[in-house]
């Protein structure tokens, strides 16, 4: 048996479900031999709040108005047989670059617990809190892999999410660097890196003043904590005054490029993410909020989906044109989906609630094959019909492509031997790794 078993045509892939399950059963032994490393970086588009699967990548036009509301006319994509929401026309033209997973499930409807499960791949209720994927990747692709450079290996655009502790037991050193500021504004004021109104001359002068007034430093020479402070200061100034910080200067990009991404905060965050990955940053999260649509759901979709469409479609196309898509995973998704049956009654008056039983994720690049659909939900999007995929399956697949061994040990503050994400970490039996879309 060899991997060629899985070189399905697109049309075959469309009938997946079964093929996917078979792929898993056969695949386990194949991949057990160290898989080739395809991906160097991840751009995570985190749909904070939980985007509705029906109104994005898993439309159910036949389910009727109680489920679809006004979004009942999905559009064809550039992949035969795959349709997505009519408000995503640009993404429809990029469908050959991504795979849609329509059978994500974990069954939890609480934002905080679901976020933890989707971003760590671990089930809740353990005695420890595990780090999320960004922290794990920044460990293996960052310090442990000799990542150098002043730009932190795990960056969040622009605000941390705050629903759980991203670093878990790894501790605050592994937290993401949150840029703050707004990339849609000029300049993009990255907290700490860019200080508008302070010239480089003044930076240099006041730094010298600081050194001259540092009486305590002189008295307590040799204190390791003061040495650490001095080292951090040096690194900080290398970023403030050196060239590395210019990665955040979005104005360096042509207007035409910036326009293509859309001048929204999200669009410019996508462009920023591309620039960071280009410079070798292994993990970038775009925290894209506003998807927790208990009320005014369809109004919000009308407003936000075009923004998502433009930013994400351009990102995929731009990465592909620059030859970066092969080594960059783009991962789109939130903590859960939303109740397929629209809540028309007050106080919701056309809203959707949390829904952990079924939701969608989208993955592209870094070794994931485009133009595929994995799994399926039932006719109304209320249950998984084929090939359930747990967050553990998805994250495990990404780890495989990144060359991160899920049985490897993570540094633990109490010295416990804790593995990244051993088999069965989610405590459920699902379809396993997404071999059917991994090249």
Partner 1 sequence: MSARALSLVIGTLALAGTVRAEVEAANPYDTKLTPTQISALDQLVFARLQRLGIQSAWTCSDALFVRRVHLDVIGTLPTPEETEAFLADKSMHKRRDLIERLLERDEFADYWAMKWSDVLRVKAEFPINLWPNAVQAYHRWIHRSIVENKSYDRFAREMLTASGSNFRMPPVNFYRAMQKKDAEGIAHTVAITFMGARADKWPDERRKGMAAFFSQLGHKSTAEWKEEIIFFDSAKPVEGTPVFPDGTAAKLTTERDPREVFADWLISPRNPWFTANIANRVWSWLLGRGIVDEADDLRADNPARNPELLRYLQAELIGARYDLKHLYRLILNSRTYQLSSVPRSTHPEAEANFAFYATRRLEAEVLIDALNQISGTTEKYASPIPEPFTFIPEDQRAIALADGSITSSFLELFGRSARNTGMAGERNSRITPDQRLHLLNSGHVQKKIEQGPKMQALLRSNDGLKKKTTALYLAILSRYPTNEELKVVEGYTQPEASAGADVAWALINSAEFLHRH
- Alpha-carbon distance of 309 to 170, in angstroms, equals 35
Compute how many other C-beta atoms are within 10 angstroms of the C-beta atom of residue 215: 8
To partner 1, the closest distance from the beta carbon of 347 in angstroms equals 13
Residue 288 gets the label, from left (phi > 0), alpha (psi -120 to 50) or beta, of beta
Q: How many CA atoms lie within 13 A of 316 on its CB side?
A: 25
306 binds partner 1 (CB under 8 A): no
Stretch touching partner 1 by CB under 8 A, among 23-31, 120-128, 354-362, 401-409: 120-128
Nearest to partner 1 of 15, 246 (CB atom)? 246
127 binds partner 1 (CB under 8 A): yes
**For partner 1, which residue of 1, 4, 34, 225 counts as binding (CB under 8 A)?**
225
**For partner 1, which residue of 2, 34, 125, 200 counts as binding (CB under 8 A)?**
125
Using alpha carbons, select from 323, 299, 310, 358 the residue that is nearest to residue 50: 358
Residue 219 is given by DSSP the state H
Nearest to partner 1 of 167, 398 (CB atom)? 167
What is 169-195 written as a DSSP string?
GG-GGGS-EE--S-TTSSS---TTT--
Stretch touching partner 1 by CB under 8 A, among 24-32, 57-65, 185-193, 313-321: 185-193
- Alpha-carbon distance of 166 to 178, in angstroms, equals 12
Q: Angle between the 391-402 and 111-120 helix axes, to the nearest 10 degrees? A: 30
**For partner 1, which residue of 189, 305, 363, 425 counts as binding (CB under 8 A)?**
189
Nearest to partner 1 of 80, 235 (CB atom)? 235
- Alpha-carbon distance of 190 to 430, in angstroms, equals 42
- Alpha-carbon distance of 294 to 343, in angstroms, equals 9
**For partner 1, which residue of 92, 118, 184, 239 counts as binding (CB under 8 A)?**
239
**For partner 1, which residue of 86, 96, 112, 278 counts as binding (CB under 8 A)?**
112
Binding residues for partner 1 restricted to 43-72, rule: CB under 8 A: none
**For partner 1, which residue of 212, 243, 256, 346 counts as binding (CB under 8 A)?**
212
Using alpha carbons, select from 227, 111, 105 the residue that is nearest to residue 161: 111
214 binds partner 1 (CB under 8 A): yes
Nearest to partner 1 of 25, 198 (CB atom)? 198
What is 301-359 written as a DSSP string?
HHHHHHHHHHHHHHHHHHHHHTT-GGGEEEEEE-S-EE-SS-B-STTTSSB--EE-SSE
- Alpha-carbon distance of 380 to 67, in angstroms, equals 7
> x/- site string to partner 1, residues 399 to 438, per CB under 8 A?
--------------xx-x----------------------
Exposed, middle or buried by CB within 10 Å (0-12, 13-18, 19+), for 109?
A: middle
Compute how many other C-beta atoms are within 10 angstroms of the C-beta atom of residue 30: 15
Structure tokens at 143: 């310090």
Nearest to partner 1 of 22, 226 (CB atom)? 226
113 binds partner 1 (CB under 8 A): yes
**For partner 1, which residue of 11, 15, 148, 173 counts as binding (CB under 8 A)?**
173
Compute how many other C-beta atoms are within 10 angstroms of the C-beta atom of residue 280: 15
To partner 1, the closest distance from the beta carbon of 129 in angstroms equals 4
To partner 1, the closest distance from the beta carbon of 125 in angstroms equals 6
To partner 1, the closest distance from the beta carbon of 232 in angstroms equals 4
**For partner 1, which residue of 133, 240, 329, 404 counts as binding (CB under 8 A)?**
240
Buried b or exposed e, range 291-305, using 16+ CB within 10 angstroms: bbbeeebbebbeebb
To partner 1, the closest distance from the beta carbon of 335 in angstroms equals 11
- Alpha-carbon distance of 188 to 248, in angstroms, equals 7
146 binds partner 1 (CB under 8 A): no
149 binds partner 1 (CB under 8 A): no
Nearest to partner 1 of 227, 251 (CB atom)? 227
296 binds partner 1 (CB under 8 A): no
Q: Contact 282/142 with Cβ under 8 angstroms?
A: yes
To partner 1, the closest distance from the beta carbon of 132 in angstroms equals 11
Stretch touching partner 1 by CB under 8 A, among 81-89, 201-209, 339-347, 381-389: 201-209
Binding stretches for partner 1 (CB under 8 A): 110-113, 115-116, 124-129, 150, 152, 159-160, 162-165, 167-169, 171-173, 175, 177-178, 180, 189, 191-193, 195-198, 202-203, 205-206, 209-210, 212-220, 222-223, 225-226, 228-229, 232-233, 235-237, 239-240, 413-414, 416
């Amino acid at each position: 048996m060899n991997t060629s078993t899985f070189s399905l045509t697109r049309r075959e892939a469309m009938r997946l479900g079964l093929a996917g399950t078979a792929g898993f059963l056969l695949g386990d032994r194949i991949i057990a031999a160290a898989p080739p490393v395809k991906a160097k970086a991840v751009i995570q588009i985190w749909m904070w709040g939980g985007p509705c699967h029906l109104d994005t990548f898993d439309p159910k036009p036949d389910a009727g108005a109680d489920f679809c509301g006004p979004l009942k006319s999905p559009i064809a994509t550039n992949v035969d047989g795959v349709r997505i929401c009519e408000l995503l026309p640009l993404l429809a033209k990029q469908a050959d670059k991504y795979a849609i997973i329509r059978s994500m499930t974990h069954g939890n409807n609480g934002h905080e617990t679901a976020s933890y499960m989707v971003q760590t791949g671990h089930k809740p209720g353990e005695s420890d809190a595990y780090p999320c994927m960004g922290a794990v990747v920044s460990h293996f692709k960052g310090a442990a892999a000799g990542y150098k450079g002043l730009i932190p290996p795990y960056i969040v655009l622009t605000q941390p999410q705050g629903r759980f502790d991203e670093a878990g037991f790894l501790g605050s050193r592994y937290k993401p660097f949150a840029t703050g500021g707004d990339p849609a504004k000029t300049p993009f004021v990255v907290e700490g890196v860019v200080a508008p109104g302070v010239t480089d001359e003044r930076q240099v002068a006041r730094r010298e003043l600081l050194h001259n007034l540092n009486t305590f430093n002189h008295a307590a020479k040799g204190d390791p904590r003061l040495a650490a402070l001095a080292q951090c200061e040096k690194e900080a100034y290398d970023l403030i005054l050196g060239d590395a910080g210019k990665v955040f200067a979005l104005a360096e990009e042509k207007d035409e490029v910036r326009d293509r991404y859309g001048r929204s905060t999200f669009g410019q965050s996508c462009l920023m993410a591309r620039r960071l990955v280009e410079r070798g940053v292994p993990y970038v999260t775009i925290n894209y909020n506003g998807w927790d649509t208990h009320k005014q759901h369809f109004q919000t979709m009308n407003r936000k989906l075009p923004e998502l469409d433009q930013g994400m479609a351009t990102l995929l196309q731009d990465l592909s044109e620059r030859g970066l898509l092969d080594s960059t995973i783009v991962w789109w998704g939130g903590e859960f989906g939303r109740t397929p049956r629209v809540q028309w009654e007050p106080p919701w008056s056309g809203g959707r609630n949390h829904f952990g039983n079924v939701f969608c994720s989208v993955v592209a690049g870094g070794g994931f094959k485009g133009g595929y659909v994995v799994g399926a939900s039932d006719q109304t999007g209320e249950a998984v019909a084929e090939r359930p995929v747990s967050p553990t399956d998805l994250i495990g697949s990404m780890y495989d492509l990144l060359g991160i061994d899920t049985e490897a040990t993570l540094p633990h503050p109490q010295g416990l031997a804790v593995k990244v994400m051993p088999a069965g970490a989610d405590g459920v039996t699902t379809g396993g790794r997404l071999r059917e879309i991994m090249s």
